[in-house]
Amino acid sequence: MVGAACTPLESALKLLDTLGRPLHDLRISVTDRCNFRCDYCMPKEVFGRDYPFLKREQLLTFEEIERLARIFVGLGVEKIRLTGGEPLLRREVELLVEMLARIPGIDLTLTTNGSLLAHKAHALKDAGLKRVSVSLDSLEDDVFTAMNGVDFPVELVLKGIEAANAVSLKPIKINMVVKRGLNESSLLPMARHFHHSGHILRFIEYMDVGNTNGWELKDVVPAAEIIETIHAELPLEPIEPNYHGEVAKRYRYQVGGGEIGVIASVTQAFCGDCTRARLSADGSLYTCLFAANGFDLRELLRGGANDREISHAIVTVWSQRDDRYSEIRSSETVGLPKVEMSFIGG
């Protein structure tokens, strides 16, 4: 069995892809379903009542996820993020958290839209979750509801953030996708609100994930413009990344009171440092957010493969990896077939 510990030989033969990038992070989508219909992710015109979501038997079980997670950790993964769809919609997801939290040496986090966080924060903390990231695109209900597509009020997300804070699922990162013409006016109110809160607000450039959000370059608010907007009122200064390959560029407020981040995946691509693998809710391994196809690990799991065989399959996929979509993005790549983000997890 491939466990968390490496032999000296395995450590020396560190798993690298064709561009020399190690496998460090694993994002696990625990469901493809969501109770929101964010227009940049699952537009309601497409993800309506008849959308063919995965059936229960197609989803990996918690035991299958744990087994894969341990194999990935044996190959060098140090950080696991549970995501989706909306991960808190997966029934008893805290049991999965408990199973994963027992794996030695991993940093375990979860990204949520916050809608169920007020109910779940305590159980997640008790299960061993370290931190959460919460998505929130505006503090104004008319802007937020226009973006989440289901009239979900800001206040309930803020209650979720408070609940997570109360049980110390921190530092809490607040993710705000910025889309031109929709929520630019929310940039400063969000910065003011979370300044001095202890939470880290992160602005995310709107990306051309999937094939359903009708992405156009003109709708992207570049990170440089976001920083200028905040800096004009609340002066900022850049700070060093926490670790090599950190996705968000960090800035702190010159007057103190915390830091913010920008994730400039469109205007300042960071593929060179991308160490992330993604496991879809039905058990396929994707090596890029913009991939069209994944490698079916569920078939191996359910076909009786042992851990060594599964590990070998992952090594083969990773060592052939050459993805760098964001570096080669162009008007031609935008229309290429890509998996939906809600399926493989953001």
Contacts to ligand SAM by CB under 6 A: 34, 40-41, 83-84, 86, 111-113, 135, 175, 177, 204, 206-207, 209, 213, 341-342, 345-346
What does 323 interact with, of ligand SF4, ligand SAM, none (CB < 5 to 8 A by kind)? Answer: ligand SF4
Q: Residue 1 Cβ, how far from ligand SAM at the closest point, in Å?
A: 31
Sequence-ordered list of residues with C-beta below 8 angstroms from that of 57, at least 6 positions apart, any chain: none
Under DSSP, is residue 273 helix (H, G, I), strand (E, B) or coil? helix
Q: Are strands 107-112 and 79-83 parallel, antiparallel or unpaired?
A: parallel
Looking at beta carbons only, is 31 or 311 nearer to ligand SAM?
Answer: 31
Distance of CA 272 to CAs 228, 266, 269, 282, 315, Å? 26, 14, 8, 28, 19
- Return the number of the residue (4 or 156) whose C-beta is nearest ligand SAM: 156
Cβ-closest residue to ligand SAM?
346
Report the residue number, 75 or 169, with the smaller CB distance to ligand SAM. Answer: 169
DSSP string of 215-269, one letter each residue: --GGGB--HHHHHHHHHHHS-EEEE--SSTT-SSEEEEETTSS-EEEEE-TTTS-
- At 124, phi and psi to the nearest 5? -65, -45
Among ligand SAM, ligand SF4, none, what does residue 53 contact (CB within 5–8 Å per kind)?
A: none
The interface partner of residue 31, options being ligand SAM, ligand SF4, none and the CB cut-off 5 to 8 Å by kind, is: none
Burial label for 198, CB within 10 Å (0-12, 13-18, 19+), is exposed
Q: Please classify residue 159 by burial: count the beta carbons closer than 10 Å to its beta carbon, then call 0-12 exposed, 13-18 middle and 19+ buried.
A: middle
Our finding on whether 84 is near ligand SF4 (CB under 6 A) is: yes
Choose which of 68, 209, 262, 289 interacts with ligand SF4 (CB under 6 A).
289
In the bound state with ligand SF4, the residue whose beta carbon lies nearer, of 45 and 63, is: 45
Of 51 and 233, nearer to ligand SF4 (C-beta) is 51
- Site for ligand SF4, residues 96 to 115, rule: CB under 6 A: 113
Bridge partner list, 83: 29
User: Looking only at Cα atoms, what is the longest distance across the chain?
Assistant: 59
Q: Is 85 in the site for ligand SF4 (CB under 6 A)?
A: yes
The encoded tokens of residue 47 equal: 């993800």
| Closest C-alpha to 194, from 250, 153, 253, 272 | 253
Partner that binds at residue 324, options ligand SAM, ligand SF4, none, CB closer than 5 to 8 Å by kind: ligand SF4
CB of 219 to ligand SAM, least distance (A): 10
Question: Is 334:211 a contact under the CB 8 Å cutoff?
Answer: no
Q: With contact defined as beta carbons under 8 Å apart, do 262 and 202 qualify?
A: yes
CB of 336 to ligand SF4, least distance (A): 12
Residue 204 interacting partner from ligand SAM, ligand SF4, none (CB closer than 5 to 8 Å by kind): ligand SAM
Number of residues that bind ligand SF4 (CB under 6 A): 23
Residue 252 or 324: the one with the smaller Cβ distance to ligand SF4 is 324
State the sign of the Cα–Cα–Cα–Cα dihedral 17, 19, 23, 29: negative
Q: Does 136 bind ligand SF4 (CB under 6 A)?
A: no
User: Which of ligand SAM, ligand SF4, none has residue 158 at its interface (CB below 5 to 8 Å by kind)?
Assistant: none
Cα 104 to Cα 283: distance, rounded to the nearest angstrom: 22
Exactly one of 86, 98, 205, 282 binds ligand SF4 (CB under 6 A); that residue is: 86
Of the pair 213, 311, the CB lying nearest ligand SAM is at: 213
Q: How many CA atoms lie within 13 A of 109 on its CB side?
A: 20
Pick the closer one to ligand SAM by CB: 113 or 138.
113
Two tokens, residue 17:
């892809």
The contact set with ligand SF4 (CB under 6 A) reads 34, 36-38, 41-42, 84-86, 113, 135, 270-271, 274, 276, 288-290, 323-326, 342
